[in-house]
Amino acid sequence: MTVFTPRAAEIPPSLDVDTILVDLSIDHVSVPTGKDPAPLEAVVADARAHGIPLSIVVMQGNPGREADLRDAATEVGKNEHGTVVVLSDSWVGTYSDHFTRARLEWSEDNAKYTSGDSVKAAQIVVSHLETPETVSWTAVTSVLLVVVVAAAGGLYLIKARRAARERV
């Protein structure tokens, strides 16, 4: 009999969290040796200018599972607060103590498969995080609540009048 159990969070073996944290402490960007960090530093500076405390980590290749990138972002995020984006050749993993998971995944989905263009992927993530939410779920919930209360109150009044007429 086989029992399916969730796999433990894994960080891709090619990522050294301690080295990444040292890199991020300098300019909020960690890239593989030989890769120019300047374009990503510009993306980080733009995001920070718009109130997004962003850090970007780039890894070479793709890990075994896409979820490993989110695990890596979460591990880095434990020490580097704000929003952490981990980019591989085809995938994106994120962590944030500022944005909801749904918002992060929306930005991830749009930034995947950029053929290893980490600058383009990072710009897409930042663009989606900077975009204001179009739906205020608090307002929608409030309106629905008022409608339900008004409908219940209206039905109560109708039943009360009907009951009063039947007694006469």
Give residue-wise pLDDT tens across range 19-75: 999 999 999 999 998 899 999 999 999 999 999 999 999 998 888 888 899 999 999
Higher pLDDT, 115 or 154: 154
Q: What is the pLDDT of residue 110?
A: 86
The helix (H) or strand (E) run that includes residue 54 is strand 54-58
Highest mean pLDDT among 2-11, 14-23, 50-59, 124-133: 50-59
Residue whose tokens read 């695990």 = 71
Whether 119 and 105 have beta carbons less than 8 Å apart is answered as no
User: Does residue 134 contact residue 103 with C-beta atoms inside 8 Å?
Assistant: no
Q: Provide the pLDDT for residue 7.
A: 52
pTM for the whole structure: 0.73
Which position has the token pair 């090619």? 14
Q: What is the pLDDT of residues 66-110, one digit of tens each?
A: 889 999 999 999 998 899 999 999 999 999 998 999 889 989 998
How far apart are the C-alpha atoms of 101 and 82, rounded to whole Å? 13
User: Strand, coil or helix: what is 87?
Assistant: strand
- The dihedral formed by the CA atoms of 156, 158, 164 and 165, expressed in degrees to the nearest 10: -160
Contact (CB, 8 A) for 125 and 94? yes
pLDDT band at 131 (very low <50, low <70, confident <90, very high): confident
β-pair partners for 83: 54, 96
